[in-house]
Structure 1
Amino acid sequence: MGSTRLSIGLCLVMLVGMVGALPAAVSAQQDQVTITATVVDQDGRSVGGGVDVTASWQGGSVNGTTASSGQVLLDVPRGANVSIQVDDDRYVRNIPYEVSDASTQSVDVPVTDAGTATVTVRNAQNETVEDARVLLYRGGQFVTDQRTDADGTVTTPAVEQGNYRLDIYKAGYLDNRTQITVGSQTDINRTIQQDEVLLTVEVVDDYFDPAEPLNASVRIPSVGTLQTTDGDAATTVPVNTKYNVDVTKDGYDQATQTVTVKQRDLTETISINRTDSLSISTQDRVLLGNSITLEVTDEYDDPVEGATVSQDGQEVGTTDADGQLEVDTESAGSVSFTVDDGTVQEEVTVRVVDAPEELTGTQIPDSTGTDAEPTGTSGGSGPGFTPVTVAAALALLSLVAARRR
């Protein structure tokens, strides 16, 4: 009796589970719609059976094959945007047939007899051209993009038979654009012409306003290295080419710029800037008890604000808006300063002396790099005394003594 009750209980649980699953299954079926696609030829007639068809949408796809009526049933998500493509040796579509906001519906999918084109590209010397880019367009729609092989030849995949625009591109050659008609198997021969244009490179330093022209070295790969005069250098280069042009100059960072040359003369401006650097202007020697003034400028002689200054390895402050910092002296001896602006470091040494006589001959560079007059004493004769003034004083004293006698 107990086993019977257990069996009945299990059956009830299974039944409840099945009933609970039914709405989800029904919902899944309701989310699917069927598109009845009929594949038709250029005259609108069914192409019959055996044609493979693929319907794809975001996140999925489904395959089918036409029946003798030329129809195929495709189950797709309701409301999806569906692309229908045909895969067949006899018939082809260059671009998929599009169904927006899918619902249960019937559509005709037009196809065209399949054809191919074999394109051979040669130069003016009747030599085949390898790696030429060959593109086909039909009715403004892109169809194929291929490159010629070592024999200068490329064969298109199966495309719709009919009229096309044929574009051929190759670095160093003029663009070639013609109209062609593709049949079941079509051979096309085209000759492309080499040509050159004038490329002018202008090298400037755009720190200045207006930008300052520079004499620099300009290297163009496979062409050569040029030297600019008053900032300009010019040479002829093949058409439809792309170069990574390098510009170098002493005291400046190297610059590399991609230059795309088409089919007309071109002027390209390339800017380079001075290599980051710091200059520190200060006293060579300073008397103990006086402060040391550091003035920091960059590669363009502009004041460097916010640079960190360390004295003998210990940070002592940062430069102000004028690029300056004053540091007190505490003891005699050599003091080393390091200035760091976050990119570049520079060092300078100042000697602190405790006797005025040790300042003799010291010159203090000013902010422009020129030398001011020496401070302190010179020649060891005391403040303001020189050999000339001492001799004049002695002569005066002798004259006074003679008058007294």
Structure 2
Amino acid sequence: MNFERLTAVGVAALATVFLVAVLAAGGAAGTDVTLTVSVVDQDGDPTGNVEVIATWEAEDDETRTATGTTASNGKVFLDVPENATVDLDIDDDTYIRNRPLTVEGASESDVELAVSRSGTATVSVVDTEDRPQADARVQIRDGSRTVDSGRTDDSGAFASSRLERGTYTVRVVKPGFFEATQEVTVSREADASVEIERGTVVLDLRVFDDHFDPPEEIETGAIRVESSVYNAEVTITEGDVSLNVPVNVDYSVDVVKDGYDAGAERISVGESAVSANVTAQRTSTLSVTPGNERVLVGETTRVTVRNAYDEPVEGATVEVDGTEVGETDDGGELAVAIDAAGEREVVATDGDVTSEPVVIVGVDEDGDANETDDANGTNDSDETDDAGETDDGSPGFGVAAAIAALLGAAAVGVKRVRGAA
């Protein structure tokens, strides 16, 4: 055997090994199988010239399809991935399926795909006085499964999509009306009328402040109830509210009371009486209470920060004249130093809530609450000139001295009168 022949044999052997390795490693995962699909009508007869669509999800999460048209014997061959989950449906002007046929773990096999002639139904919804009802929700159901749904138009009508011909249950619901159901036969072009009746049920509400544990009743105020068909504001009586409301409605309910946030809650009312709890909390506020409203300069006073429930707030930030001076302790308190005479504005903040400012007056040892001049320590408002006169030119005794002088003169006069007597 010469060298060239040995080389050829070696190449062939390597190619064979490579092919076997590929098939063993991953070739099976990409193997296609053929589904032999037989399309039959409602009588079981084969149906030709119908386009069949196979759909599956590939390994790359992309949706793949294969299509084919049935022959006169109703059969079509579709290649799909082995072991894939495949949905089979049709696209045809005469025949239809309400939902695809699912084939689990596809393999070389025969599959029967039943189809039906298509039809439609137009459902007209009226009330007990034969008035058309727009925006009513219509469901066409096959057993427990909804095959089509939508809402009535301004004329009270809903036109279905194409469906398999047969008998269905039509369910109609509209806020303020009792639910109505009726059997409807879908034919080539069917028409049906469904009547719905207005109705109300009792809605009982109990009102609580859930800031507390357990929640405490809110005994006064009002409850606001709103929806697309009903709106009312009802007074709370000893924590309770009872009212008649339209059926099959979702309501927005909130507490209306001074000092409380209007936080709406959603309550769904069907066709039976409903009892529900409504909760609310006071609007978040902070208040600052100083231990003293007048404080000697250089001394401290304790301020207390409380929330809307008059509870001490721990960790609230306290500022004096815009400068942070500390945080409150677990009793809601902080010692605040007053380092200058005059009005000092104190504000507390907790999260997004800031208190109204309060004023603490710094007072000098001589009782003066006015701020002093840094240069000479004198009071700007009482400053005198070199001649001893005040800014307005009057003698520099001041008001108090003048009053004392008058009282002294009066006393001397009285003494003289007594001496003369």
Identify the TM-score tier after normalising by the shorter chain: 0.7 to 0.9
1:350 aligned to which of 334, 357, 360: 360
2:348 aligned to which of 336, 339, 347: 339
Partner of 2:310: 301
Partner of 2:91: 87
Is this contact kept in 2: 1:33–1:104, CA < 8 A? Answer: yes
How far has the Cα of 1:204 moved from its partner? 2.1
Partner of 1:77: 81
- How far apart, CA to CA, are the structure 2 residues paired with 1:67 and 1:173? 52
1:215 aligned to which of 216, 220, 223: 220
Alignment pair present for 1:177 and 2:186: no
Is this contact kept in 2: 1:287–1:356, CA < 8 A? Answer: no
The aligned amino acid for 2:54 is A
Is this contact kept in 2: 1:144–1:156, CA < 8 A? Answer: yes
1:318-341 Cα distance to aligned partner (Å, 9 max, x none): 100001111334343332222111
Residue pairs, 1:176-195, within 5 angstroms: 176-195=180-199
- How far apart, CA to CA, are the structure 1 residues paired with 2:159 and 2:178? 22
Alignment pair present for 1:257 and 2:265: yes
Distance 1:155 1:302, change over 3 A: same
Alignment pair present for 1:321 and 2:330: yes
The aligned amino acid for 1:38 is S
- How far apart, CA to CA, are the structure 2 residues paired with 1:213 and 1:29? 68
The aligned amino acid for 1:164 is Y
How far has the Cα of 1:297 moved from its partner? 0.9
How far has the Cα of 1:300 moved from its partner? 0.7
TM-score by length of 2: 0.73
SS in 1 for 2:264: strand
- How far apart, CA to CA, are the structure 2 residues paired with 1:358 and 1:38? 107
How many residues align? The count is 338
For the aligned residues, what is the CA RMSD?
2.7
Residue pairs, 1:6-405, within 5 angstroms: 30-47=30-47, 49-58=48-57, 59-208=63-212, 209-221=214-226, 222-282=230-290, 283-346=292-355, 347-355=357-365
Partner of 1:374: none
How far has the Cα of 1:302 moved from its partner? 1.0
How far has the Cα of 1:50 moved from its partner? 1.1
Is this contact kept in 1: 2:303–2:334, CA < 8 A? Answer: yes
1:4-50 Cα distance to aligned partner (Å, 9 max, x none): xxxxxxxxxxxxxxx99xx89x9599533222211012343312x21
- How far apart, CA to CA, are the structure 2 residues paired with 1:34 and 1:145? 36
How far has the Cα of 1:278 moved from its partner? 1.1
- How far apart, CA to CA, are the structure 2 residues paired with 1:337 and 1:148? 62
SS in 1 for 2:211: coil
Q: Which runs of 5+ in 1 are unaligned?
A: 1-18, 360-405
- How far apart, CA to CA, are the structure 1 residues paired with 2:29 and 2:327? 74
Give me the identity figure in percent. 38
How far has the Cα of 1:84 moved from its partner? 0.7
How far has the Cα of 1:266 moved from its partner? 2.0
Is this contact kept in 2: 1:223–1:237, CA < 8 A? Answer: no
Q: Which runs of 5+ in 2 are unaligned?
A: 1-17, 58-62, 370-421
TM-score by length of 1: 0.76
The aligned amino acid for 2:297 is L
- How far apart, CA to CA, are the structure 2 residues paired with 1:251 and 1:268? 23
- How far apart, CA to CA, are the structure 2 residues paired with 1:155 and 1:345? 58
Is this contact kept in 1: 2:209–2:215, CA < 8 A? Answer: no
- How far apart, CA to CA, are the structure 1 residues paired with 2:352 and 2:319? 15
Is this contact kept in 1: 2:208–2:215, CA < 8 A? Answer: no
1:89-131 Cα distance to aligned partner (Å, 9 max, x none): 3322211100112223221111223232222221110122222
- How far apart, CA to CA, are the structure 2 residues paired with 1:85 and 1:335? 81
Is this contact kept in 2: 1:203–1:216, CA < 8 A? Answer: no
